[in-house]
Amino acid sequence: GAVVSQHPSWVICKSGTSVKIECRSLDFQATTMFWYRQFPKQSLMLMATSNEGSKATYEQGVEKDKFLINHASLTLSTLTVTSAHPEDSSFYICSASLASGRFNEQFFGPGTRLTVL
């Protein structure tokens, strides 16, 4: 149980285009979803936290107008990278949280590798 999927698994796009990444919790309803970014040989950096039906909360330094997050339902969150540039090339990973006692464990999706040419 507690499976999270992401689509697409990889995408290559031209500079200036927008890219949408989907994150789905397949067998549970997620109270909260998180979006992370990971550059090569670096750790995961939290970009934003989203709850169903409300606006996402962005971490300091993350441009909310560039990284649009929509959390339409308890099983789906999307991240849209608008006007992507080569510096946005990264590994984007979502996670979904199932409130479980005191742990609020996060289940991670397989990630989406974005390459902007």
| Contacts with other proteins, residue ranges (CB under 8 A) | 32, 34, 42-46, 49, 91, 93, 95, 97, 102-111, 113
Nearest residue to 14 via CA among 99, 91, 116, 94: 116
Determine the residue type at 15. Answer: S
Nearest CB to other proteins, comparing residues 44 and 74: 44
Q: Given phi > 0 = left and psi -120 to 50 = alpha, else beta, which region is 74? A: alpha
Distances (CA, A) of 35 to 101, 116, 117: 22, 19, 23
- Considering the complex, what minimum distance in angstroms separates the CB of residue 16 from other proteins? 27
Min separation Cβ 110 and other proteins, Å: 5
Which residues neighbour 83 within 8 Å (Cβ) at sequence distance 6 or greater?
16, 17, 18, 66
Give whichever of 44 and 82 is closer to other proteins, judged by the CB atom.
Answer: 44
CB closer to other proteins, 25 vs 95: 95
Which is nearer to other proteins, 37 or 116 (by Cβ)?
37
Q: In the bound complex, what is the minimum distance in angstroms from residue 83's beta carbon to other proteins?
A: 26
